[in-house]
Structure 1
Amino acid sequence: MVDPGTYTATLDRIEEAPGGEWAVFVVERDGEAVSQLDLPVDVVPADGRRVDAVFDLVVDDDRFELVFRDAETARRAEDAQVRFDRLAQRPPDTEAGDSTSRSRQQDSY
């Protein structure tokens, strides 16, 4: 279990198990993963029941509270898409004839 305190929890996945579905969270504090938390899906706020949804998690000795952070979820999704788009771009040729020399090397095999 997670020690009492305030955390950021990201929904990593939803798993089927005997007796129902479970939401599996990666729990972070100060940007570092500190734990995994498995909760029945029905205790997760409905608007955040999707992979990569971000929540504030407050844990006390006898209870916990999940608060969906829609804006943070959207920001992280946008950041991930920007990184993906950047990685998907072909790097420019830095030397003239670079692609030609690669083609010749491939043809010689």
Structure 2
Amino acid sequence: MTETYTAVLDRIVDGETAVLLLEADETVVDERILEVERLPEDGQHEGAVFDAELEADTVRELTYRPSVEQERRETAQERFDRLSERLSDE
């Protein structure tokens, strides 16, 4: 049975190991560790977002989603900006 998750590249360790956080409904549900070379080349950076297909609990395919990554970065920046404004008003 194939399952699909959103995966976010949390970090790269020693330039060789990628730590992916798997999400379902925008909640982290699991973590996978794999070799960086298994990631699509244009998504080999922290914060990269992928569609991850898992079969028998193994990552079978990763599809890089740059537009989703950009949306997430913009949303996070907007949240940060709103919080900064509130602090400066106090």
TM-score (norm 2): 0.86
What does residue 19 of structure 2 align with? 24
TM-score (norm 1): 0.72
Runs of 4 or more, structure 1, over 2 Å off, are: none
Equivalent pairs counted in the alignment come to: 87
* Matching of residues 1-109 of structure 1 within 5 Å: 4-16=2-14, 21-61=16-56, 64-89=60-85, 90-91=88-89
Structure ranking higher on relative contact order (CA contacts 8 Å, 6+ apart): 2
Unpaired stretches in structure 1, ≥5 consecutive residues: 93-109
Larger Rg: 1
Unpaired stretches in structure 2, ≥5 consecutive residues: none
Which protein has the bigger strand share? 2
